[in-house]
Structure 1
Amino acid sequence: MPTISIRGVEMPASPIRKLAPLADAAKQRGVHVFHLNIGQPDLPTPQVAIDAIRNIDRKVLEYSPSAGYRSYREKLVGYYDKFNIKLTADDIIITSGGSEAVLFSFLACLNPGDEIIVPEPAYANYMAFAISAGAKIRTIATTIEEGFSLPKVEKFEELINERTRAILICNPNNPTGYLYTRREMNQIRDLVKKYDLFLFSDEVYREFIYTGSPYISACHLEGIEDNVVLIDSVSKRYSECGIRIGALITKNKEIRDAVMKFCQARLSPPLIGQIAAEASLDADEDYLRDTYDEYVERRKCLIDGLNRIPGVYSPIPMGAFYTVAKLPVDDSDKFCAWCLSDFEYEGQTVFMAPASGFYTTPGSGCNEVRIAYVLKKEDLTRALFVLSKALEAYPGRTE
């Protein structure tokens, strides 16, 4: 029998989804599972998007242009202008989710063997996309004790060599909720300029910043306009994960031309998704404001509740809707699996993502989990209580 590819062997399982079979089995046993593992918002999608789908009057659901519908891209220009990101429609390519935007960025900008520097912990699928492109992730460590702030420039420069081609950031960050400061963004800009690197910037959580600090996009950084590739998605801000609409944005025409070849090879981004996403731009201001206010309340509920559990620590996330929490357990992978396979309290249990899957450094994150606060406060409160009971009962508790 032929063997599968090295790429297939090396592709990591998702820490967000790999325990799903255990969660499914728990549900079949009648256990209620609180899903804290995945960033699937539970808030309603804008009604204008639902209405746009219901009122489709096409007789044929055709291919869209490979770059996405121009009407949507032109409308996005106005959206980004609200954040002082100055674009033209030609700077924007619509993709099948933010995931495809990351993958196409790598395929267009990197050769096999090229290296990307990524602060860790990092969104786990970046590793999968790098493997798909034949590139290598080199991680620079941040720690929960320091709130996941960036280390000094010298730590970056220790990793830079002749194979280094890019730095990748997620701002605000998934999985930590960290928000890069102006000083840190300028530090990254100076490195990109000094070593002539690409800067891939995943900014899908820009609506969710809780500190009052200004949002600093990679597109705001002067002097590296042609080095920047911005990754975006409608999944989080409009609760539209399932329509699979993202965007790849760059001022660099050479990158756009290369990306378009991959876009043409996959034909087109989703037609119905674009219809919904374009309509969502007409959602009233109350929609985004109410969504933001709800996440502020959920964040407080979650972080206060976590830090009241003996032995648990979580820094306060400054953006997005995740936190990484340290637990008093020997192995968070084993603990998260045990919660689903061996534990229940009054017919309930919790599903969390082991943080080890967001690190590439062996041994890192072994007692940490990522928690998404995408449940209503009543459910978060109950989930935290169930978590506290699980920690009391877990045989591998360390404190």
Structure 2
Amino acid sequence: MPKISQKGLHMPASPIRKLTPFADKAKADGKKVYHLNIGQPDIETPEGMLNAIKNIDFKVWAYTPSEGTLSYRKKLVEYYNKLGYNITPDNIIVTTGGSEAITIAMMTCLDQGDEVIIPEPFYANYNGFANQTDIVVKPILSYIDNGFALPPIAEFEKVITEKTKAIIICNPNNPTGYLYSREELEALKALCLKYDLYLFSDEAYREFCYDGRTFVSPMHLDGLDDNVVVMDTVSKRYSACGARLGCLITKNKEIISTGLKFAQARLSPGMVEQIAGEAAVDTPDEYFEAVSKEYTERRDTLVNALNQMDGVYCPNPGGAFYVVAKLPIDNADKFCQWMLESFSHDNQTVMMAPATGFYSSPGAGANEVRMAYVLNNNDLSKAMECLAEGLKQYPGRTL
């Protein structure tokens, strides 16, 4: 029988989805499963997006330009320039989700064997994208004790080699919810200019900043235009994960012209999605204000409940809709599977993502889990009751 590729064998399984068979079995057995493992919001998608789809009237479902339709890119310019990005439609390549924006950025800017530095824990699929594009992830540990703040710049410099070509940040961060400050971004700017590095900025959670904190993008920093690549998506902002619509943004013309060749190779982003995305830009500010208020309340429910549990510690995140919590357990992968396979409280249980999959360093995150506060407060409270009881019964409890 022909053999599977080495690339396929080395492709990591998603920590967010790999326990799905156990969740499915729990549901088949009649258990209620609270899904805190995946960032699928239950917030309603803006009405304008849905109406745009319902009112579509075309006779041919045709290809769009590889870089995205001009009308959609013009609407995106309205959105980003309102935020102070100062871009034109020529600075944008529309992509099939934020995932494709990341892979196009990697393929455009990095060669096989080149290294990219990423503070960890980081979005688990960065490992998968690196495997696909044959680049090497050089992780820099951040720590739960200080809320997963950006590691000192000296730690970055320790791992820089002649192969280092880029740094990736996710801000606000998935999985930790940490919101990078202007001071931290200025420090990264100085580092990128010193070593002539790209700075990839994953901004999927831009709208979700709490407690009066301000979002800062590398696009706001002077003198970094040729180094910055923003990777974005409508998935979280508009609660439209199934739209699979994102974009790559840069003022570096060479990146745009080269990235377009990869975009042409996959033909085009979807027409219907761009019609919906164009309508999404006109979503009123009140929508985001209500969503931010809702997520703030959910965050407080989750974080307060976690920190009241014996032996549990969870920092209070400044953005996104995730937390990473440290639990009194021997192994997060075993615990998360046990919660689905062997545990039930009032015929209910909780699905979480083991944090090990959000690290690249072997052994890191062994007693940590990521949870997404994408359920309503009532369900979150019930999920926390289940977790508290599960921690009491788990055979591998360490405290």
Same fold (TM over 0.5): yes
Q: Report the TM range for the smaller structure's normalisation.
A: over 0.9
Q: Which residue of 2 aligns with 1:247?
A: 247
Tell me, in whole angstroms, the C-alpha distance in 2 between the residues paired with 1:151 and 1:67.
36
Partner residue, 1:238: 238
What count of residue pairs does the alignment treat as equivalent? Answer: 399
In 1, the alpha carbon distance for the partners of 2:376 and 2:211 equals: 21
- Secondary structure at the counterpart of residue 363 of structure 1: coil
C-alpha distance after superposition, 1:96-128 (max 9, x if no partner): 000000000000010000000000000000011
Aligned to 2:332: 332
Q: CA deviation at 1:380?
A: 0.3
Deviation at 1:151, TM superposition (A): 2.1
Matching residue of 1:45: 45
Distance 1:347 1:275 in 2: 43
Q: Which residue of 2 aligns with 1:165?
A: 165
**Deviation of residue 365 (structure 1)?**
0.3
Partner of 1:296: 296
Aligned to 2:55: 55
The one-letter code sitting in structure 2 at the alignment partner of 1:130 is A
Letter in 2 for 1:17: R
Contact 1:243–1:270 at 8 Å: present in 2 too? Answer: no
Deviation at residue 132 of structure 1 after TM alignment? 0.7
Residue 12, structure 1, aligned to residue 12, structure 2:
yes
Find the counterpart in structure 2 of residue 117 from structure 1: 117
Q: C-alpha displacement at 1:246, in angstroms?
A: 0.3
Aligned with 2:226: secondary structure?
helix
Specify the code of the residue in structure 1 equivalent to 2:198.
F
Instruction: Judge conservation of contact 1:109–1:255 (CA < 8 Å) in 2.
Output: yes
Query: Which residue of 1 is the match for residue 2 of structure 2?
Result: 2
Structure 1 residue 150 and structure 2 residue 150: aligned? yes
Query: For 1:67-119, what per-residue CA distance to the aligned partner results, in whole angstroms no more than 9, with x for missing partners?
Result: 11111110111111221111101101100000000000000010000000000
SS in 1 for 2:297: helix
Q: What is the Cα deviation at residue 220 of structure 1?
A: 1.0
AA of the residue aligned to 2:134: G
Is the CA contact (8 Å cut-off) linking 1:115 and 1:138 kept in structure 2?
yes
Q: Distance in 2 between matches of 1:374 and 1:285?
A: 20
Counterpart contact for 1:114–1:165, Cα < 8 Å: yes
SS of the residue corresponding to residue 312 of structure 1 reads: coil
The one-letter amino acid of 2:315's match is P
For the 8 Å contact 2:119–2:151, the answer to whether it is kept is no
Q: CA deviation at 1:383?
A: 0.3
The offset of 1:214, in angstroms, is: 2.3
Matched letter for residue 290 of structure 2:
D
Alignment partners' CA distance in 2, 1:145 and 1:76: 38
Task: Report the counterpart of residue 206 of structure 1 in structure 2.
Answer: 206
| Distance (Å, rounded) in 2 between the aligned partners of 1:200 and 1:122 | 13
Q: Does 1:388 align with 2:388?
A: yes
Query: C-alpha distance in 2, partners of 1:207/1:151?
Result: 24
Kindly report which structure 2 residues correspond to 1:345-360, keeping only aligned pairs within 5 A, or say none. 345-360=345-360
Residues 36 and 373 in structure 1, CA contact (< 8 A), matched pair in contact too: yes
Paired amino acid for 2:374 = V
Query: Equivalent residue for 1:88?
Result: 88
- Counterpart-to-counterpart distance in 2, 1:372 and 1:366: 18
Distance (whole Å) between structure 1 residues aligned to residue 168 and residue 228 of structure 2:
10
Q: 2:79 corresponds to which residue?
A: 79
Q: 2-side partners of 1:181 and 1:288: how far apart?
A: 21
Partner SS state of residue 255, structure 1: helix
- What's the CA shift for 1:146? 1.6
**1:224 is aligned with what amino acid?**
L
1:378 equivalent in structure 2: 378
* Counterpart-to-counterpart distance in 2, 1:253 and 1:159: 29
Contact 1:325–1:370 (CA under 8 A) maintained in structure 2: yes
1:311 to partner: Cα distance: 1.0
What amino acid is aligned across from residue 195 of structure 2 in structure 1?
A: Y
Q: Which residue of 2 aligns with 1:258?
A: 258
The 8 Å contact of residues 359 and 365 in structure 1, kept in 2 or not, is answered as yes
Q: Equivalents in 2 of 1:162, 1:309: separation in Å?
A: 47
Secondary structure at 2:154's aligned position in 1? Answer: helix
Q: TM-score, normalised by structure 1?
A: 0.99
CA distance in 1, matches of 2:191, 2:212: 27
Task: Indicate the larger mover: 377-386 or 282-291.
Answer: 282-291
Distance in structure 2 (CA, Å) of the matches to 1:152 and 1:33 = 40
Unaligned runs of 5+ residues in structure 2 are none
Whether contact under 8 Å (1:198, 1:228) holds in the other structure is yes
Instruction: State the identity as a percent.
Output: 56
CA distance in 1, matches of 2:277, 2:271: 10
In the TM superposition, structure 1's runs of 4+ consecutive aligned residues that sit over 2 Å from their partners are none
Cross-structure match for 2:30: 30
Render the CA deviation track for 1:374-395: whole Å, top value 9, x for unaligned.
Answer: 0000000000001001111100
Q: Structure 1 unaligned runs (5+)?
A: none
RMSD value, Cα: 0.8
